Chains A and B, each alone.
Chain A
Amino acid sequence: EPEVTQTPSHQVTQMGQEVILRCVPISNHLYFYWYRQILGQKVEFLVSFYNNEISEKSEIFDDQFSVERPDGSNFTLKIRSTKLEDSAMYFCASSEVPGANVLTFGAGSRLTVL
């Protein structure tokens, strides 16, 4: 079964450092997403991406965050200057079409900011 793959599985960083989380969506999917889950809390939408541009973003996705599809397979989330409150599990997801279509989640990247 096709999978969304994410790297790294766990990253520990110092406050103020830049972090890049990487994702390889399912190959025939056109829509890509980043979600965040702070420990013990619900999954929260960050951003959706289609046709090389952001299609929607939440209030959480401020100027410290950016996304990019640098090549034909990777989809990255960059946090420019990490804060303690950025510590969370970050899930990448992809879908064939937006809206009423199945999202497939990756295994997540756990970010710990010290």
Chain B
Amino acid sequence: GENVEQHPSTLSVQEGDSAVIKCTYSDSASNYFPWYKQELGKRPQLIIDIRSNVGEKKDQRIAVTLNKTAKHFSLHITETQPEDSAVYFCAANNAGNMLTFGGGTRLMVKP
């Protein structure tokens, strides 16, 4: 089955700096790669996703890149703000309708 690895597990940045979180996946049939933000005690919220027919997608300060050959995808957050502090999860789908999540990255943005 699909295996998703996520790095780093914790990331501390200064407000205004950029943050990058990386994920790798194992199933070459995966074609959908969402990123979720989870604040303490809350539900995972989709922040951006990318499908396998594109290599990059951007939404304001957030961007995601996908390298299908290498089977890795990354989340980039620019001009980080304290409210970006949360746990971020990457995920990849399988051929059916199941998402496999990475282990999560705790992002701390210091004011």
Give me the interface of A with B, judged by CB distance under 8 Å.
Answer: 31, 33, 35, 41-45, 48, 50, 55-56, 58, 91, 95, 98-108
Contact = CB atoms under 8 A, between A and B. Distances in A.
Contacts of B32: 99-101
A10 to B, nearest CB: 11
Contacts of B45: 105
> Which secondary structure dominates chain B's binding surface?
strand
Interface in B62-111: 89, 91, 93, 95-104
B100 A45 contact: yes
A107 B42 contact: yes
Contacts of A106: 43
Interface string B18-38: 000000000000011010100
Contacts of A35: 99
B86 to A, nearest CB: 14
Interface of B: 31-32, 34, 36, 42-46, 49, 51, 89, 91, 93, 95-104
Contacts of A101: 32
B96 A107 contact: no
A45 B43 contact: no
B56 to A, nearest CB: 17
A102 B31 contact: no
B51 A43 contact: no
A55 B42 CA distance: 27
18 contacts: A43-B89, A43-B101, A44-B101, A45-B98, A45-B100, A50-B97, A55-B96, A55-B97, A56-B97, A58-B98, A91-B43, A99-B31, A99-B32, A99-B95, A99-B96, A104-B46, A107-B42, A107-B43
Nearest to A44: B101
Most buried by A among B95, B96, B99, B104: B99
Contacts of A44: 101
Most buried by A among B95, B96, B98: B98
